[in-house]
Amino acid sequence: MTFELPKDRVLILDGAMGTMLQRYANSRYIVPDSFNILDSGAVEFIHRQYINAGADVIVTNTFGSNRIRMNECNLDNIEVIKRGIEIARRASCGKYVAQDIGPIGKIVEPNGPIKAEVAYELFKEQFLIGKTEGVDLFLIETMYDINEFEIALYAANEIGLPFMASMTFEEDECTFLGFTIEEMVETAEKYKAIALGANCSTGSKDMIKIAEKILSISKTPVLVKPNAGLPQNIDCSSPYEICEKSFADDIKKMIDMGVKVVGGCCGTTPRYIEKIRKVI
């Protein structure tokens, strides 16, 4: 069956995967996507924790699995994506599986060196694997360049599976390349994302203002997936600055404002998702 947003309730996505794996790896530098090949049990265990915490959708461990990024790490991106989807499906217990798609990691023309056609091929390849492997939807997230965002959405729209689209805004309500909330909403609606919004970058407190702005102009259901603040020390090993309770309270505020899809980005854990499930 085709994935559809629930009409009568809020949809809960899962929380962070990358920072969970980072903790598991004890702050050793790791490429999170490589765990799909090297330690699939760890990925599956984290998915299961999110499901037990009450997530409606789990997101595959494929945020950086585009050909350029994976080749730089000597990994076969096709294999990494296929395994990532397989692991999520195995853990899913009938919940939905969203294929995670992050930015290429290099900036697209005219702001950077990657040609638009190359960017298109990179995204298209990821989506086609996801479609063949049977994901329910795509989650395009953490985008900061409107040109790259548009190319990704154009490619997703051609596939025919539902997709959610999210950019990452700083406290000044622009992406770090200076793109605005208005541009994000306009582009996501042009290519018919089923939900649009903001993730990562700011913690849940600062996200409230961003959510308010998105809600005021969007005709499409709004998604928020804030992070848990910034790590309290540089090795990322200590807890983040926003505790589970205030995170869930902020999420509840945004739901009351009209947000329809919620989840957690960097630094969040299954306990954050559990708290969200409890407050709504």
β partners of residue 151: none
For residue 248, state whether it binds Zn ion (rule: CB under 5 A).
no
Q: Does 21 bind Zn ion (CB under 5 A)?
A: no
To Zn ion, the closest distance from the beta carbon of 33 in angstroms equals 14
Contact status, residue 223 vs residue 5, Cβ threshold 8 Å:
no
State in angstroms the smallest separation of the CB of 266 from Zn ion. 3
DSSP code of 137? E
Question: Of the two residues 156 and 200, which places its CB atom closer to Zn ion in the complex?
Answer: 200
Measured CA to CA, the distance from residue 201 to residue 14 in angstroms comes to 17
- Site for Zn ion, residues 257 to 276, rule: CB under 5 A: 265-266
Nearer to Zn ion, 18 or 221 (CB): 18
CA distance linking residue 216 with residue 218, whole number of Å: 6
Q: Does 200 bind Zn ion (CB under 5 A)?
A: yes
Region of 31-39, 63-71, 198-206, 237-245 interacting with Zn ion (CB under 5 A) = 198-206
Query: Tokens 């509840």 map to which residue?
Result: 252
Nearer to Zn ion, 135 or 266 (CB): 266
Give all strands of the β-sheet with 163-167 in edge-to-edge order. Answer: 11-12, 261-262, 222-227, 195-203, 163-167, 137-143, 96-101, 57-59
Q: Which residue stretch of 46-54, 115-123, 199-207, 232-240 sits at the interface with Zn ion (rule: CB under 5 A)?
A: 199-207
Residues 201 to 230 in contact with Zn ion, rule: CB under 5 A: 227
Q: How many CB atoms lie within 10 A of CB 191?
A: 19
161/196 with CB nearer Zn ion: 196
Cβ neighbours of residue 96 under 8 Å, at least 6 residues apart?
3, 56, 57, 58, 136, 137
Residue closer to Zn ion by CB (options 83, 225) is: 225
Residues that bind Zn ion (CB under 5 A): 200, 227, 265-266
